[in-house]
A and B are shown apart, each in its own frame.
Chain A
Amino acid sequence: MEVTITINGTPVTSEIEPRTLLVHFVRENAGLRGTHWGCDTSNCGTCVLWVDGSPVKSCTMLAAQADGHEVTTVEGLEQGGVLDPIQQGFMECHGLQCGFCTPGMMMTGRWLLDNNPNPSEAEIRDCISGQICRCTGYKNIVASIQWAAEHPATSEVTA
């Protein structure tokens, strides 16, 4: 079947098997490898991206279900060579180590701040509790999201 998914503002049209997972479509058909795959069972959240502006675990959604919808991935955070504050927060606060869960964590963190610009620590922890990080013990991920909340207009110009 043919599907067209708008990813980070660019329509991507591909002929796919109906069973193709959204995470595989994004990684293989669209060639955007910042979205990772980690568990198959919706438990780890390393595959989180946005569908129509809301976080979704893309390993348990079919690409066909996203046909005609808007998908945003980690590659869509940086705008015009300027990092999103959530990206800069993760750099400032050592919010990542191996980097594998990071795209999903940042997508959820950005979404939280878009809907709740000044979340409490408990609200941040609750919001990312569907995602697993094996490296950071979460403290610095929480701090990174807090940093982004405190610096909504801060950005770094990409070299």
Chain B
Amino acid sequence: MTAVEEVPLSAAGNPIGFGSMRRVEDARFVRGQGNYVDDVNLPGMLHSAILRSPHAHARIVSIDASAAEALPGVVAVITGKILEGIPRPSLLGDNFAWMPTLSYDTQAVLATDKVRFQGQEVAYVIAESRYIAKDALELIDVEYEILEPVMDAKRALDAGAPIIRDDKGQTDNSITDVHGNKTWESGNAESTAAAIAAAKADPNCVVVTQEIMYPRVHPAPMETCGSVSYLDKVTGQLTMYTTTQAPHAHRTVYAMVAGLPEQKIRIISPDIGGGFGNKVPVYPGYVLSVIGTIVTGKPVKWMEDRNENLVSTGFARDYHMTASIAATKEGKILAVDVDVLADHGAFNGVAQPTNYPAGFFNIFSGSYDYPDAHCKVTPVYTNKAPGGVAYACSFRITEAAYVIERVVDCLAQELQMDPADLRLKNLLRPEQFPYMSPTGWEYDSGEYEKTMRVAMDIAGYDELRREQAEKRAKGEYMGIGISFFTEGVGAGPRRDMDILGLGMADGIELRVHPTGKAQLRLSVQSQGQGHETTFAQIVAHELGIPPEDIEVLHGDTDNTPFGLGTYGSRSTPVSGAAASVVARKVRDRARIVAAAALECAPDDLDWELGRWYVKGDRERGKTIAEIALLSHSSLELPEGVEGHLDATAVYNPPNLTYPYGCYICVVDVDPGTGQVKIRRFIAVDDCGTRINPMIVEGQVHGGLADGVGMALMELIAFDTDGNNLGGSFMDYLLPTAVECPDWELGETVTPSPHHPIGAKGVGESATVGSPAAVVNAVIDALSPFGVRHADMPLTPANVWRAIQGNAIRVDMAVE
């Protein structure tokens, strides 16, 4: 279970267990033989396109689709009015114009009364080609009565603000959760307020308060969202090839939305061109492709374009946070309080698994030892696209990690302490684990100081500070930023977590064929994480058969057991555990078969990798392959043992796992232009046991690029009329190879004590942990100008304004 354990190699040179090996899936991808949704073409397939609202808030007066319907090649034009007329035999509303979201709200499939954000779905065209479908959109005449939009979350609850959700009879723009709450609190309000008040009154203490915004960004996977749906009217079978990170959850939702029998729905999520949380929700476009095949009787493809992806599908963040931190003047943190205004857009569409609807935000107390923490989150509707939980955020932990790491740096500046020293003074100590946080999280394991020291050693921290001092003396602005983050991933324990009432345990099935080769069927779904490789390695580790002898199947609900999918870094913590458990079941069954064949009791056998042998007589034994064949043979087995080695399992995690890490970023800032150049980035992650270190490092690299993008470039802003200003890759800037440095990685390995193989999950760690390191580095560089904080993205313009002491709202257009 440690990095130094010797792992034998297979004949193909792969580790029979954990270790770096080339990915199985690469063979098809490097040949251009991947199979993405847009690569699926069915006989007789029609194409489709969605007409979207140009306005953020407007009443629909009329829709005239006659010219579009008359265009040769157009098969059907569907509007909200038509959907209202289709009765739906389900408990979730009586017609198809509205659908449930994954957070107990409703969302329009096609707008009927009003449009509520720019880019909202208004009409749906089905045609013989994608070109004709797009042409037809131009011919649909919609008359709008433009209404004043609510674009600033800070004004959403003002008296007299326009009401967005009048469809629900709302009299304001507040969001009420399933328990009837309009604000969500966590931690101890009274003790935290008292600790902060006491610190304010104590001359030996300080309290620092800072407004910190995490602006709206977008996951922007390279492949946009889409689906190909086909309802066979004879058999009643609905087959849907779709870009989903959660095929089983989507099947259940479609059964609920469309009123179709669930056993007749097959969701195939083939190769997925990146997800990052963008492909968790159910979007109107998916539902429309189902309606399209119901209406036409033919397969219907819907693929959104890039603009549609950026303006209408699940965005991320949009958290306005005010954090207060109290500490002694020696730098001992006493309490943290965070007040959040959460912009959820026009429909509450977040997919998150807790009874606390801000996801896992209340893990914001971070990696430090202090007793009092409290947060309050107030969610509001605005005239923006719905979403909020996406972009590798681990259910809002990215906002949590950012706010604590930013405000700790503000405290360091106030105390004139080195931010590394301040962190080292407050980090949780190894003997405190399992550690119960002030907001109720039980961190499973960690050796935080060790990890931080490794990062500081790689960085050459003291030398960097010396260099910085020299440069400052010369008028050069170099910055060093640190972030130490703790995540809770692997949602989640069924007693605590669900999505739409569906618990988050994951099923798995392992079939061992008579020749000893195996098939592993997963409920989770890879969007690039390499499951076909790593899950085979887990089974190889448990059974001792080569990973190349294990075929991993996923992404087809007809061929895999139920589970809630891949997001929030949950595949390894939940399904990875299930893979280990099911392989151990097979191993236990193999022991019984081997005992029968060796004419001894199962207890007389010992295990070594790949075989059971008689205790004290190592030569007498049977390999898994031999036992597999025996399990299918006429060998007489003990009563109650039926033969075969196949097994299934469902893994209900006892707790989340808590990966963590320390990141250090070094930047150079040009004060004349405001340009930030990232010179170095050091990332030391502890994600417990590493199944395939090469893949772990690849996951970290990708997340670090996300952090650089969000810290410096990425932004979905709006003007006051409601226009989305980040609707193309010309406006929504993503980092390229020239903005990203040559990442310097390190590792520590502190296994999770409750996970069967000690693995913690790592997919989202770097996205969560890295933005604060970049921003802290830039602010560190700017501190000689008296800058304590500036909001992301730290574009040249925003950095320049910060230097001038003239920071402005980043999320709204400059008027």
Contact = CB atoms under 8 A, between A and B. Distances in A.
A22 to B, nearest CB: 14
B274 A135 contact: yes
A97 B729 contact: no
| Interface class of chain B by DSSP | loop
Nearest to B25: A99
Contacts of A88: 30
Contact of A129 (B25, B704, B736): B736
B705 interface: yes
A142 to B, nearest CB: 7
Contacts of A124: 737
A96 B29 contact: yes
Contacts of B36: 33, 36, 100
Contacts of A141: 737
Contact of A75 (B32, B131, B273): B32
Given A38-B223, A135-B702, A91 B38 contact: no
Contacts of B730: 41, 43
B276 A134 contact: yes
Nearest to B31: A78
Contacts of A150: none
Nearest to B527: A98
Nearest to A21: B131
Nearest to A97: B528
Contact of B222 (A74, A83, A100, A126): A100
A102 interface: yes
A102 B729 contact: no
A100 B131 contact: no
A52 interface: no
Contacts of A77: 31
Task: Tell me which of A27, A39, A106 has the highest count of chain B C-beta atoms within 10 A of its own C-beta.
Answer: A39
A129 to B, nearest CB: 5
B273 A98 contact: yes
B39 A91 contact: no
Interface stretch (B176-184, B187-195, B537-545, B693-701): B693-701
Interface in B685-731: 694-695, 697-706, 728-730
Contacts of A37: 38
Given A40-B307, A41-B306, A98 B742 contact: no
Interface string A138-149: 111110000000
A83 B30 contact: yes
A128 interface: yes
A137 B276 contact: no
Interface in A65-102: 73-75, 77-78, 83, 87-88, 90-92, 94, 96-102
Interface string A99-113: 111110010000000
A133 B736 CA distance: 7
Interface in B333-367: none
Given A33-B39, A139-B742, A103 B728 contact: no
Interface in B237-283: 271-274, 276
Contacts of A128: 736-737
Contacts of B529: 97
| Interface class of chain A by DSSP | loop
Nearest to A102: B29
B701 A136 contact: yes
Contact of A87 (B31, B221, B223): B31
Contacts of B305: 40
Contact of A125 (B39, B734, B737): B737
B766 to A, nearest CB: 8
A40 to B, nearest CB: 5
A46 interface: yes
B698 A136 contact: yes
Contact of B729 (A19, A41, A133, A138): A41
B220 interface: yes
Nearest to A87: B30
Contacts of A132: 222, 729, 734, 736
Contacts of A114: none
Interface residues of A, number: 57
B743 interface: yes
Given A39-B728, A75-B31, A128-B737, A133 B222 contact: yes
A39 B734 CA distance: 12
B740 interface: yes
B738 interface: yes
A36 B22 contact: no
A137 B651 CA distance: 32
A96 B737 contact: no
B704 to A, nearest CB: 5
A43 B528 contact: no
Nearest to B745: A139
Interface string B25-56: 11111111110101100000000000000000
A33 B219 CA distance: 24
Contacts of A90: 26, 30
Contact of B705 (A32, A91, A137): A137
Nearest to A105: B737
A115 B219 CA distance: 35
B634 to A, nearest CB: 36
A91 B22 contact: yes
A62 B232 CA distance: 37
Interface in B286-308: 305-307
A60 to B, nearest CB: 12
A65 B25 CA distance: 35
Contacts of A46: 222
B796 interface: no
B701 A140 contact: yes
A35 B32 contact: yes
A137 B730 CA distance: 20
B701 A137 contact: yes
Contact of B223 (A83, A100, A125, A140): A100
Task: Tell me which of B36, B276, B305, B705 has the highest count of chain A C-beta atoms within 10 A of its own C-beta.
Answer: B705
A38 B736 contact: no
A137 B30 contact: no
A131 interface: yes
B814 to A, nearest CB: 24
B30 A102 contact: yes
A99 B273 contact: yes
B729 A134 contact: no
B23 interface: yes
Task: Tell me which of B25, B223, B307, B694 has the highest count of chain A C-beta atoms within 10 A of its own C-beta.
Answer: B223
A104 to B, nearest CB: 9
A119 to B, nearest CB: 12
Nearest to A83: B30
Contacts of A140: 698, 701
Nearest to B766: A137
B274 A139 contact: no
A34 B701 CA distance: 25
Task: Tell me which of A44, A83, A132 has the highest count of chain B C-beta atoms within 10 A of its own C-beta.
Answer: A132
Contacts of B30: 74, 83, 87-88, 90-91, 96, 102, 106
Task: Tell me which of A36, A100, A124, A129 has the highest count of chain B C-beta atoms within 10 A of its own C-beta.
Answer: A100
A129 B702 contact: no
Given A41-B730, A101-B222, A129-B736, A92 B29 contact: no
Contacts of A96: 26, 29-30, 528
Interface in A5-32: 17, 19-20, 27, 32
7 contacts: A33-B32, A40-B306, A78-B31, A132-B729, A137-B743, A138-B737, A142-B737
Given A98-B527, A129-B736, A138-B737, 10 more contacts: A36-B223, A100-B223, A100-B273, A101-B222, A106-B30, A133-B222, A136-B701, A137-B705, A140-B698, A142-B737
7 cross-chain pairs, A with B, having the tightest CB-CB distances, nearest first: A34-B32, A98-B528, A100-B273, A99-B29, A137-B701, A97-B528, A43-B729
